[in-house]
Amino acid sequence: MIAQTEADAAKQDIVIDVQHLTKKFDGRAVVRDLSMQVKRGTIYGFLGPNGSGKTTTIRMLCGLLTPDEGTGTCLGYDIRTETDKIKQQVGYMTQRFSLYQDLSVRENLEFIARIYGIAKPVAAARAAIDRLGLTGREEQIAGELSGGWKQRLALGACTLPSPQLLLLDEPTAGVDPKARREFWNEIHALADNGLTVLVSTHYMDEAERCHEIAYIAYGELLVHGTVEEVIDASHLTTYTVATANGEGLSRLSDELTGKSGVDMVAPFGASLHVSGRDAGALDAAIAPYRQRKELIWKRSEPSLEDVFIDLMGKAKDNFQ
């Protein structure tokens, strides 16, 4: 009986549980054979190149798009047969500001509250304004807000009905770093209160703020786990190399790229990151270059960006 109770509790802790999802458009597989689980209260980041299937995956995971193959549940409901129940508990924030540009902040939030049938919509809108730091901007027209303030307003609108799952599709694109940081502070506060968040992003600093991440390239889930697990699973050895006078890095990059044992060369500021999955082969490849007095070599830990650049190099574009 105790074992059964523990099993039930573990099952309730899983918000999304899907197996072998595939989605095709015009005969082309945009997502292929994807399986994953997401725990309650987790901020789960989706990363990958444009057109890799991130948005399609997110929409399938929560019943907004029907998969061609595969099964699964979201919030305990079947993603094929109980999509209406899922949608009632999901908040969705897209890249594009989708509220009414000619209404004020207050009017937008009150309107959304009434659409969702929230009791005391005026009070609910007021609480959202206070929580998101929009006090003093209540009567400002939404279309006149900066990108960061529009972002806060959109987040307030999609969390007004108290969803159990929040979908964020590249929500901070084009927003300044300060606004992005404030936005993420709010997301973590929501997750601490039990809200599960799926977010797609291109920013490595945002990926590192997720509890778990998944990298999707051209429809395939290549790796997932915590940031530490993803970096460890890459088995990359990385060196940072700079020149004494700050010149010649482009030429050095060309020389190193494609060498046996060198799997990735990428510029990072005034240096290059040189990585390989076989430490011995990498050391052999760069040995002649370490004898050059003008080059300054340093062993470093692979970054999340190193891992993703490496994954990109291995991924096959499904539109080619």
pLDDT at 205 (0 to 100)? 86
Please identify, among 178, 200, 230, the residue that sits at the C-terminal boundary of a domain.
Answer: 230
298 and 239 in contact (C-beta within 8 Å)? yes
Q: Both 277 and 293 in a single domain? A: yes
Q: Both 197 and 58 in a single domain? A: yes
Q: Both 200 and 256 in a single domain? A: no
Q: Both 113 and 14 in a single domain? A: yes
153 and 99 in contact (C-beta within 8 Å)? yes
Q: Both 22 and 74 in a single domain? A: yes
Q: Both 200 and 262 in a single domain? A: no
Q: Both 127 and 163 in a single domain? A: yes
Asked if residue 318 belongs to a domain, the reply is no
Structurally, the chain folds into a number of domains equal to 2
The Cα–Cα gap between 237 and 283 comes to: 9
CA torsion, ordered 189, 191, 193, 196, to nearest 10 deg:
150
Backbone dihedral angles phi then psi of residue 252, each to the nearest 5 degrees = -65, -40
Asked if residue 200 belongs to a domain, the reply is yes
The Cα–Cα gap between 205 and 51 comes to: 21
Asked if residue 316 belongs to a domain, the reply is no
**The domain spanning residue 40 has which CATH number?**
3.40.50.300
The Cα–Cα gap between 296 and 106 comes to: 57
Domain that holds residue 293: 237-301
Q: Both 226 and 245 in a single domain? A: no
pLDDT at 232 (0 to 100)? 93
Specify the DSSP class assigned to residue 302.
Answer: P
pLDDT at 9 (0 to 100)? 47
Tens-level pLDDT at each residue, the chain (320 residues): 554 454 454 556 899 999 999 999 998 999 999 999 999 999 999 998 888 888 899 889 888 899 999 999 999 999 999 999 998 899 988 777 778 889 999 999 999 999 989 989 999 999 999 988 888 988 999 989 888 888 888 888 999 999 999 999 888 877 788 888 888 998 999 999 999 999 988 888 889 999 999 999 888 999 999 999 999 999 999 999 998 887 889 999 999 999 999 999 999 888 999 999 999 999 999 999 999 989 999 999 999 988 988 888 776 655 44
The Cα–Cα gap between 273 and 257 comes to: 11
Please identify, among 202, 230, 258, the residue that sits at the C-terminal boundary of a domain.
Answer: 230
